[in-house]
Structure 1
Amino acid sequence: MTRLLVVDDSALMRRLLGELFTRAGGFEIAFARDGLDALRQLHAFKPDVVTLDVHMPELDGLSCLDRIMVERPCPVVMVSAMTEEGAQVTLEALSLGAVDFIAKPTGAISLKMDVLGPKLVEKVQGAARARLPRARRLAERLRLRRGEPRQRPAPVRPVPPVAPVDVTDLPPLPGEVEGAVVVGCSTGGPPALDALLAPLPANFPWPILVAQHMPASFTGPLARRLDRLCALRVLEVVQPVPLAPGHVYIAKGEADLILGRRPAGLMALPAPAAAEHRWHPSADRLVTSAMEQVGARRLIGILMTGMGSDGAAAMTALRHAGGRTIAEAEETAVVWGMPGELVHAGGAEFVVPLDGIAARLLALAPAR
């Protein structure tokens, strides 16, 4: 039985979510009406998983999440608005330690629960199996146990929206790129992308293409956040764009990203989500298209944390065809679904903890 704490200031949402998880079975459910109530329940009920609304009185979702991760860490699924501001706040929540998020229904909420309900149940069940890094914020937890005053972090404020890059203004590609890196990730992916991309130099020799399972309204803010954090140039692919070294191409959410060839050379192309793939943006489809256009021997595939098996089949084929593949190790993956499937299929050449993947990639990529 999974102990679930539902935190939401809306009595209607608490009732609907309670009914949803009761019907699903396997849950013992408690409720909290705001962040302060949630912290009381955190110690009294001792939940295995928390669903946490972002906007609440008394103590908002981000501040509550910050306290949970220090006082009694457990998997948290954020319930967030599907807006630019909601995306910014959700990305901040993931960096604070939330393992996943789901859109908060708007309008006729009770009518939309039939559509959103199965996905929310799946995410919460996955979160219950999630692995939280033991060392994360360990110093703060030790100070709390010793009764020392807590050093409160600066308040989190959403980053103002930034105009998307106009890819028509990108400089022309000086020559055909020699190879590419293809990356797949899902649950726990945004912090994993931080760890992968931040150590890479601006002159990294190959373009990097990323399929991160996310809604369409979230991948633009994700790309802009990564662009601020790392030396590489990071773009969301919303129209055809030529591939260039030192660039990262983020697939637009709820669609797919594929490689194509034009007279000017290799291109990153947005594509409607293909029905034969369950998850989107599809890592399997990205890798397959890259093999068709670049060739396996000039590709490096990286599969990181995430539920399901997206990317495992295509990267196994990539490895058997002579490409190089890296799977995130179980001990660091929030959910060892996608990389675990790659390992079990015999498609992982290297199995590497998250903090070592960038170094392994630098060792495999050609020098510039």
Structure 2
Amino acid sequence: MRKINVLVVDDSAFMRKLISDFLSENPEITVVATARNGEDGLKKVKELNPDVVTMDIEMPILNGLDALKQIMHEHPVPVIMLSSTTGSGAENTLTAIQYGAFDFIAKPSGAISLDLHKIKEELVEKVISASKVSKKHLINLETNRNTPIKQEERYSKIEPIETINLVSPKKENNKKKIICIGTSTGGPRALQKVLTTLPENIDAGILIVQHMPAGFTKSLANRLNSVCHISVKEATCGEIVQKGTAYIAPGGFHLKVKESGSNLMIQLDQTEAIYGHRPSVDVLFESLSEITEYKKVAVIMTGMGSDGKKGLIALKNTGKTAAIAESEETSIVFGMPKAAIATNLVDEIQTVDKIANTILKFL
């Protein structure tokens, strides 16, 4: 069996050794080389044509962001970024995703993480998953910064937005409505594609679980808010769900809802992670399955694993729910959508550019 060839790029010799050792312990992976900065990494990508690159963001000579941008432009290859959980680290990580990074991993304790073993399994899993990504998903992901969505936009767009013909939301006997979305690897780009094409006056609130660690979801919400017609924010415990607003579960917290009079109230908790995820799509969907007076639209997009499958079954068993799954054609990782489709409960399978239109049709 052909092994996965990995290039490890980090300015710390200790981190290069630790990451290489972790990866080499897996029989499916071979570390073909290491590099000490972005310039060295870019050179070795061209020379060795690795299957996957792991890259630190903060490095001398040529930092990880600039190196990533050049790699995606000159020699596209799946890149997993290693980032600190500081505010600037979160911003840089989301910029890396804009530039086409496959995914990222948060270092447990800063640039030199002596406790890197905490993310060993995650690192190996993401390298294996990245090695399977289609090269067509890596091409043309570089940011187009020249087409602002809002006059006050502060951030670059993650991906060019195509104009589509939207279906106007229709009232259905004044029945209350809620949209719930679950996604993971590749999710930030998919979310932007969907949320930017939803109208400001959409007749529903939107609840989102994006697999991300604490410290990153607020930055994601702020970026999305700057380019969407709807409002996008990180969810806070106790707030009432409003139409035309998308609420992203904070990293490290499960997102649930409960009825509060005629409204839905957001609840956040740190109960046990579900299959390693907190927030979990299953937890959100199962919470919504207990709300009977709402028409629901459930969406599962790109991501590893099967989170959302059990929750989708619960939604379908207990109320009126229309389910949408992202197609294999546009999914960066066709794990979560594939698991949802396997339940035979998905109403439509759509490419990411058609998901917004399909949501509005079901509303």
TM-score, length of structure 2 as denominator length: 0.86
Note closer, same or farther for the CA distance 1:217–1:263 as it changes in structure 2 (3 Å cut): same
Note closer, same or farther for the CA distance 1:208–1:177 as it changes in structure 2 (3 Å cut): farther
Measure how far apart 1:137 and its partner are. 2.3
Note closer, same or farther for the CA distance 1:95–1:261 as it changes in structure 2 (3 Å cut): same
Q: Deviations over 1:144-191 (max 9, x none)?
A: xxxxxxxx989xxxx69xxxxxxxxxxxxxxx9801001000111111
Aligned-partner Cα distance in 2 for 1:137–1:262:
45
Number of the residue aligned with 2:249 = 251
Q: Deviations over 1:325-360 (max 9, x none)?
A: 000000110100000101112121111011111111
Q: Deviations over 1:228-276 (max 9, x none)?
A: 1101111211221101110101101111000112236211221223345
Q: Deviations over 1:182-237 (max 9, x none)?
A: 10001111111000100111101100000111111001111111111101111211
Aligned-partner Cα distance in 2 for 1:266–1:100:
33
Aligned-partner Cα distance in 2 for 1:120–1:107:
16
Number of the residue aligned with 2:303 = 306
**Quick check: 2:299–2:323 contact (8 Å CA) kept in 1?**
yes
Aligned-partner Cα distance in 1 for 2:234–2:113:
33
Number of the residue aligned with 1:146 = none
Aligned-residue Cα RMSD (Å) equals 2.4
Q: Deviations over 1:49-87 (max 9, x none)?
A: 010110111111111111111111111100001011111
1:106 aligns with 2:109: yes
Note closer, same or farther for the CA distance 1:36–1:199 as it changes in structure 2 (3 Å cut): same
Q: Which amino acid aligns with 2:107?
A: K
**Quick check: 1:78–1:101 contact (8 Å CA) kept in 2?**
yes
What SS does structure 1 have at the residue aligned with 2:290? helix
Q: Deviations over 1:21-60 (max 9, x none)?
A: 1112222211111111111111111110010110111111
Number of the residue aligned with 2:215 = 217
Measure how far apart 1:107 and its partner are. 6.5
Note closer, same or farther for the CA distance 1:33–1:177 as it changes in structure 2 (3 Å cut): farther
> Following superposition, which runs of at least 4 residues in structure 1 exceed 4 angstroms of deviation?
107-111
Number of the residue aligned with 2:9 = 7
Number of the residue aligned with 1:23 = 25
**Quick check: 2:108–2:118 contact (8 Å CA) kept in 1?**
no
**Quick check: 2:253–2:269 contact (8 Å CA) kept in 1?**
yes
Number of the residue aligned with 1:228 = 226
**Quick check: 2:288–2:315 contact (8 Å CA) kept in 1?**
no
Number of the residue aligned with 1:149 = none
Question: Identity over the aligned pairs, expressed in percent?
Answer: 39
Note closer, same or farther for the CA distance 1:35–1:108 as it changes in structure 2 (3 Å cut): closer
Please list every run of 5 or more consecutive structure 2 residues that lacks an aligned counterpart in the other structure: 147-153, 156-173
Equivalent pairs counted in the alignment come to 334
Aligned-partner Cα distance in 2 for 1:284–1:132:
30
**Quick check: 1:240–1:267 contact (8 Å CA) kept in 2?**
yes
**Quick check: 1:62–1:93 contact (8 Å CA) kept in 2?**
yes
Aligned-partner Cα distance in 1 for 2:110–2:221:
29
**Quick check: 1:177–1:243 contact (8 Å CA) kept in 2?**
no
Number of the residue aligned with 1:43 = 46
Number of the residue aligned with 1:342 = 340
1:198 aligns with 2:196: yes
**Quick check: 1:131–1:333 contact (8 Å CA) kept in 2?**
no
Aligned-partner Cα distance in 2 for 1:305–1:223:
18
What SS does structure 2 have at the residue aligned with 1:183? strand
Number of the residue aligned with 1:89 = 92
**Quick check: 2:76–2:138 contact (8 Å CA) kept in 1?**
no
Note closer, same or farther for the CA distance 1:316–1:19 as it changes in structure 2 (3 Å cut): same
